[in-house]
Amino acid sequence: MKKSILILLLLLIPLVQSIEIPVYEKDSITVTNAYPEILVVYDEPIEILVVYILRNDNVQFDVDYLTSDNITFIMYADDYLINGDYELHILSQDTLRNPSEVIQPFTVDAPFMEISLESPHLGVSQTEVFDAVVKTGRNSTCKYSTFYVPPPQIDNFNFLFQIDAGLYHTIQGINTDNSFYLNDDSPDEDGKERTIYVKCVDENELVHPTSLYLAYDATPPSLGVFITPNPIIDTQEPTTILQVSTSDRTICSYTKDGQFHEFENYDRENFSAYKKEHTLNLDFTNLARRSIPELFQEETVDFEITCINLAGLMSEPAQATLRVAFEEEFSIKMNNPGSYTNDQSIDFEVETSIQTPGGCRYGENSPTTDFTTITGNKIYSANLGELEEGDYSYIVSCIALTDREKTFEFEIDRTKPTNLAIDIKDPSCSLNKVSGTVSATDEESGIDRFNYTISKGGEVLTKGSTTQGSISENIDLEEGESHRISVIAYDEAENFEEGEATFTASDDSAIVCDVTKPNTFISLMPTNEGVLVKVICLDSDSGCQQTFRYGFASDSDECVASQTHNLDDGILISEDTYFCWTVYDKNNNNESDTEFVEYETAEESYPAHCFNEVMDETETDIDCGGYCAVCEEEGSSCSINDDCGTKSCDPITNVCVASGCDNEYKDGYESDIDCGGDCSSCELGKDCVYDSDCISNFCDYNICSEDVNEDTDEDGMPDYWEEKYNLNPNDPSDADEDSDFDGLSNLEEFLAGTDPRDKASKPSKEDKDVTPPHPPQKTKNNFIPLTFIIIGSLLVVSGLSFLFIEKKKQKEKHLEPRLIDEKGEIPVMEELGEEEKSKAFSEEEKKVFEKTADKKKMKRKDLMKEFQATAEKGIKVKELEEEAKKETKKPLEKEEGKEKKKEGYVELSTLKKEEDLKEKDIGKDVFQELEMIKKEGEEKEKEKKETEEKTEEKEEELPLEIEGEEKEKEEKEAEEEELSQDDIFKKLAELAGQSHEEVKKTVDKKEVSSEDIMKVFANVTSKKQIDANVFKAILSQLLKRGQVSKQTVAEILFEFLDTELLTKKEVSDLINDLELTAK
């Protein structure tokens, strides 16, 4: 509007200059309203050109007007007019464009009426929902608005007071839907505020405007008290300042030596007296005037400060203690230069801790020269002139009540750093992070820091500094664009060298961005000619190279991977040997491993039904799947992924298909659905096998997690926390920085669990001395390979001696380890061409694939049949040597110390002669012993009859002493602490993750079957959920109560083994610990 008026005035200037405009000045009038409405009536229709109000101090106000006929106009100002003298200027023209100006002087003399808040006090409530009561000086009718409404129309104030009569006017239910909400944050912590605009019409029909402040604050203020300096040590300056910082606007008071005092401007009724910073000047000149020795006696002064906020809430008292400890001794420090300088002219400045009325002197050999400038008897300075590069030493002596002398040293270095090197990651391998290193040398003062700027074109993206030479910045980069990093290396004397480098922004899909080693393992596939070794390479980043290197040896330490082969082809091994190999990804990261491979044919590995050309038993297709070899052809029927050579069984069609990373189910070598293995990395919380399966590159207990312990720069703050708050995980110096200037270092903020970028986020007073718990430490599951290494070493040391002796005897009967092609020929061990790669073992690999685990499941099934038959018939197998002795005369006294065997035991020690066990069976577990039971079935049946006859004779002759011993043993066992039936239900519920009621419903019966137990654990899919020790205790109690048989327990254990809820070693230990077999 104002712009329009000014432009119009400028356009009218030539017209005014050429035409004399008549001016009509009217008599002055007086108005009693701050929003005067002035009625202007013309004698003919006119057009308003310019209209405004001019106050007597030349302040101009815009004017609006209303008219229906362009003759009568109601004019009013756009703002409230305070009492004073004004002029209304109207420039107009008639229909013939004849101009004229009218000036109407007027005086505003509006009677004042006070409008104030009666409650809440000062407009601030202690509760979120409250009523506001407005008081007027005269009986009035009022309206209000929650936003500013220009005058003078009171009708634009569209909210009515719920109670609006006389002097008091009430707004009810503020911060509810019945009224309005205070949405704006107030200066007070946790407070909200809003300004409302009120217009009241008094009994004289005069309009009175005002604005009122409303807020609420439901929490008392918190205080921070600081005394500077503390202690007071200088007799020449015996003063200090006590400062109080509050979270809310407050007024404060304090007690000193038991006396109550108020801070300056303490006034509970004055809104402007409430503030967040309060200072108190303290003067202890009286103590500084004491005579020696009382002068140096320490005094303490205790303060207790309390503050009240606008809502009337009082803070907890804050305690502070001031020490007045005047020092007889004092210190001197050098302000300038620093330890190193490159200045041409050297300004030398020192400062004393207290005033030194006796002054200070300096000199290279003795302090004989006066300083040229003295400030407050504390700061002394002088110019030393232009000095050459080198080391300098000056002695300073100062005198107060006592004298003090100190030597200061500094070095002048004007040589800039050299050999600036910038090693920035190029390409960046990230679109939101830049990383790299910088280095330089300086033989004089040494490198102090590197300042750097990252930019694209002329746009600066970020600036930073590092003292360690590591650069790590989280910024957004534009893919494919060239970026520049400019670096300045400073030495300790502030000499500098500049350099720059460029890099291209890219994501991490580029091959050169792959810095992670591939993962690798082998699968063993028995064939008619031997064991087919398949090398598996997994790399989700750049991918694996198509060829790998391998070798054979009789000793693992001598195995060298020197021969080249194709990953798509297998290697046939026809005797026991160590096999070593190395795989490479496309960025030449590599991983090596060595395994012992035991010679075994398909007939020895799979059951007979796997070769009858009929689909039977556990097979999912003809002679494949289940406990047979994998089904190599796509389209074969299957039940699970392991039935297929592709390791992918379509869950809908139940046929073998090619594995993929986008089929929405877990297959191939994925660690979770469509991620891990040779697919893309998994998100946090997904299953994993290797660190590389995870985006975080940290697999913890087979779950992708954050590595909360990784601290690259060893500054006490883990990398994940530094990256979260945009600190540098490669720069330890940022631990001591205070990023939000709240008085706490970044390291202290980490230990306190607060935000280092938020000044308001800091620990409470009680928390400052308490170190919060560190994020839970997680340890990688490296104990698993270590366990296998230890067990394997023991088995190798004890068993391979015999193995290799026998193999050496038959060496001429076996072929050397070899590769077999389609024609049965041994190919040359060289890098294969693409044509040769496509031929090698194509047919052989169609027949067999990874099935070692399924083979072992089939063996266990057959063993369980034997175990079941043994348990049902109550066979008691005796040790062969004992049976040989029992064929001769056996005195009764030799049998007295032996424990009676219980029905259902299997005597493992009878499976081999003692001599054979020593030579061949050292280290065999329960599974191997059970296998021997099957092979010696006929012999055991014969021994059974003889054993039962002799046992019956022996039991008839047993003396009463044996019965007494058994009774004593039973009593001893009864004394052992047992689990109650309800305890069993609770522990089963904890292990299986089910409710106590569901478990009780399933297991609370006279006889518990293996199906009952497996039903309880139906939803358990991870071994880490099973505590073997607790499981053993539960099974033990169920056995003692007769709720399960030993056969049932054995079935349960093998089911847990097949579903990988228990390991082979755990099952073996449980069979022994629960005495399911007799040893």
Q: Where are the alpha helices (DSSP H) in 589-718?
A: 602-605
Cα 17 to Cα 534: distance, rounded to the nearest angstrom: 105
Query: What 3-state DSSP class applies to 816?
Result: coil
Query: What 3-state DSSP class applies to 788?
Result: helix
Of the two residues 384 and 898, the one the predictor is more confident about is: 384
Of the two residues 815 and 262, the one the predictor is more confident about is: 262
The pLDDT tens digits of the residues spanning 202-261 come to 888 888 888 999 999 999 999 999 999 999 999 999 999 999 999 999 999 999 988 999
Residue 896 near residue 964 (C-beta atoms within 8 A): no
CA distances from 28 to 25, 53, 82, 125 (A): 9, 14, 17, 48
Cα 251 to Cα 460: distance, rounded to the nearest angstrom: 46
For the ranges 182-196, 467-481, 986-1000, the lowest mean pLDDT is seen at 986-1000
The pLDDT tens digits of the residues spanning 43-71 come to 999 999 999 999 988 889 999 899 999 99
Give the range with max mean pLDDT: 111-120, 145-154, 868-877: 111-120
Residue 412 near residue 493 (C-beta atoms within 8 A): yes
CA distances from 45 to 66, 73, 91, 220, 370 (A): 14, 11, 14, 66, 91
pLDDT of 876 reads 40
CA angle 384, 385, 386 (to 5 degrees): 125
β-strand pairing of 37-41 with 72-77 = antiparallel
pLDDT of 954 reads 46
pLDDT of 604 reads 86
**Neighbour-count burial of 800, counting CB atoms closer than 10 A to its CB (0-12 exposed, 13-18 middle, 19+ buried):** middle
Q: Which domains does the chain have, with CATH numbers?
A: 29-108 (2.60.40.1220), 115-216 (2.60.40), 223-324 (2.60.40.10), 332-412 (2.60.40.10), 418-505 (2.60.40.1930), 514-605 (2.60.40.10), 706-752 (no CATH), 983-1074 (no CATH)
Confidence of residue 527 (pLDDT cuts 50, 70, 90): confident
Handedness of CA 967, 969, 972, 973 (dihedral sign): negative
Q: Which residue has the tokens 């006490």?
A: 716
pLDDT of 679 reads 92
Q: Is the pLDDT of residue 116 over 90?
A: yes
Residue 537 near residue 521 (C-beta atoms within 8 A): no
Cα 700 to Cα 708: distance, rounded to the nearest angstrom: 11
Give every CB contact of residue 263 below 8 A, 6+ residues apart in sequence.
244, 251, 252, 253, 254, 278, 280
Q: State the pTM of this model.
A: 0.46
Nearest to 518 by CA among 428, 587, 578, 570: 587
Of the two residues 429 and 111, the one the predictor is more confident about is: 429
DSSP state of 443: S
Residue 455 near residue 475 (C-beta atoms within 8 A): no
pLDDT mean over 873-899: 40
For the ranges 565-574, 842-851, 962-971, 973-982, the lowest mean pLDDT is seen at 842-851
The pLDDT tens digits of the residues spanning 738-794 come to 888 888 899 998 988 898 988 788 776 445 444 443 333 333 344 444 444 455 555
Cα 280 to Cα 239: distance, rounded to the nearest angstrom: 11
Of the two residues 617 and 729, the one the predictor is more confident about is: 617
In 32-83, beta strands by DSSP E: 37-41, 46-55, 60-67, 72-77
Cα 196 to Cα 180: distance, rounded to the nearest angstrom: 10
Average pLDDT, the chain: 79
DSSP per residue over 121-152, as a string?
GGGEESSSSEEEEEEESSSEEEEEESS---SS
Tokens describing residue 1047: 């056969």
pLDDT of 301 reads 94
pLDDT of 726 reads 84
> Which H or E run contains 657?
none
**Neighbour-count burial of 685, counting CB atoms closer than 10 A to its CB (0-12 exposed, 13-18 middle, 19+ buried):** exposed
Handedness of CA 749, 750, 754, 759 (dihedral sign): positive
The pLDDT tens digits of the residues spanning 1024-1063 come to 556 777 777 777 877 877 777 877 888 777 777 777 677 7
Residue 601 near residue 555 (C-beta atoms within 8 A): no
pLDDT of 833 reads 46
pLDDT of 722 reads 86
Of the two residues 282 and 713, the one the predictor is more confident about is: 282
Confidence of residue 948 (pLDDT cuts 50, 70, 90): low
pLDDT mean over 721-748: 86
pLDDT of 126 reads 96
Residue 214 near residue 174 (C-beta atoms within 8 A): yes
Cα 678 to Cα 257: distance, rounded to the nearest angstrom: 76
